[in-house]
Amino acid sequence: MSADGAAESVAVDVEARDLLRDLVEIPSPSGEEQECAERLAAFFESHDREVWIDDVGNVRAPADDRALFTSHVDTVPGDIPVRVEDGEPQSGSNGGGDAAEGGEQLWGRGSVDAKGPLAALAVAAVRTGVSFAGVVGEEVESRGARHLVAERDAPDAVVNGEPSGWDGVTLGYRGILQGTYVATSESGHTSRPENNAIQDAIAWWSRVEEEFENDPYEPVFEQVTAKPVSVEGGTSDDGLSVEATMEAQLRVPPELTCDEVREIADGHLEAGHVNWKDAVQPTMQPPRNPVARAFRVAIRETGGDPRLLRKTGTSDMNLYAGAWDCPMATYGPGDSDLDHAPNEHLPLAELDRAVAVLEEVADRL
């Protein structure tokens, strides 16, 4: 760090910036990643790396398995005009303090989540010779990561790409439990006092929310968060019954398992049932694992003060941690508060710093 506390200068990384802009200019909402995946594969081919696009659409570039660098190609929907603008210097942002520099900023859907991390990891992978995978479908069902863990052996270490700020390293994510509540009741006059299926759905969810009521004195990361995603209900087509369905999600902290949360939620059922369809376990990586240590050193050498983070959402790292017994962490440029936001943008100087950090991490691993 310099005397005034600002991060040291890092050279403009033209190659990383050009790749990122190309990737952001190609729309790739979940399920429509092919063109963007082809551009990413072409980048590896231009560096004489073995690369192919697998059966589900992942970009696979295996090499030195001392580390697997991986991030996702898909984005959420949204049309943000792609452009580069000059930004004003800031300090103390959620994106990583000194990382919120002035200078050029790339605007566009995916610039932060997660094409900034994707481009940084790809560039660092070709320069250091480590393995790489650009996976699809992370924003929905993580089909790319699921296919990856089923298709290949564990590497020695994993760096997963998501925005953390160039000086931040994410070690923990909550898990997610998803299910569909279904109830049916006989139709009858609305003057009758008995619950119909819609009331049963509302009553069940009210009990679940009360069970997992937010405690403002505890970190959100350490609590279960229960959210209804959609609700449908009404009289059946034949007029003989009332039906109700509710899509529900529960975020699971590392202190619990998805099975434990499911048992608690099922215990509040008095009518209807829940079809539990997806469970991704939480993960909390040790702060002294080799990947976290490598990041701390690399960030300091690049002029930063490392921050260790825990995220309240869920990422592909949860799946990797559940399948592979190896050290890992999640890292990437960008302010995660801009994930999915209409003003999503990335300071390009932060991309430059992230690539420098990742190259050092790969060398240390």
How far is Cα of residue 287 from the mean position of the Cα atoms in its chain?
A: 19
296 and 198: one domain? no
- Whether 60 maps to a domain, the answer reads yes
pLDDT classification of 263: cutoffs 50, 70, 90: very high
The rounded percent of the chain whose pLDDT value lies above 70 is 93
pLDDT classification of 193: cutoffs 50, 70, 90: confident
- Whether 9 maps to a domain, the answer reads no
- Whether 8 maps to a domain, the answer reads no
Q: pLDDT averaged over the chain? A: 93
Comparing 16 with 195, the larger pLDDT belongs to: 16
Report how many domains make up the chain.
2
Question: What is the domain-level CATH number for residue 113?
Answer: 3.40.630.10
pLDDT classification of 343: cutoffs 50, 70, 90: very high
Q: Which residues have C-beta within 8 Å of that of residue 112, sequence separation ≥ 6? A: 163, 333, 334, 335, 336, 338, 339, 344, 345, 346
pLDDT at residue 322, as a whole number? 96
275 and 289: one domain? no
pLDDT at residue 113, as a whole number? 96
93 and 116: one domain? yes
- Whether 2 maps to a domain, the answer reads no
204 and 250: one domain? yes
- Low-confidence winner among 89-98, 109-118, 332-341 (lowest mean pLDDT): 89-98
Q: Which residues are catalytic?
A: 74, 138
40 and 164: one domain? yes
pLDDT at residue 5, as a whole number? 44
- Whether 52 maps to a domain, the answer reads yes
Comparing 96 with 89, the larger pLDDT belongs to: 89
pLDDT at residue 188, as a whole number? 75
pLDDT at residue 9, as a whole number? 78
133 and 19: one domain? yes
Query: What range does the domain containing 82 cover?
Result: 14-173+283-364
57 and 74: one domain? yes
Residue 280, pLDDT > 90, answer yes
Residue 214, pLDDT > 90, answer yes
- Whether 6 maps to a domain, the answer reads no
pLDDT at residue 98, as a whole number? 42
251 and 311: one domain? no
pLDDT classification of 91: cutoffs 50, 70, 90: very low
189 and 158: one domain? no
The rounded percent of the chain whose pLDDT value lies above 90 is 88
Last residue of a domain, one of 280, 303, 320: 280
Question: What is the domain-level CATH number for residue 261?
Answer: 3.30.70.360
340 and 308: one domain? yes
pLDDT at residue 101, as a whole number? 52
Mean of the pLDDT values across residues 294-306? Answer: 97
- Whether 128 maps to a domain, the answer reads yes
- Whether 79 maps to a domain, the answer reads yes
pLDDT at residue 94, as a whole number? 44
122 and 70: one domain? yes
Mean of the pLDDT values across residues 167-183? Answer: 98
Last residue of a domain, one of 259, 280, 301: 280
Last residue of a domain, one of 258, 280, 302: 280
83 and 153: one domain? yes
Mean of the pLDDT values across residues 250-257? Answer: 98
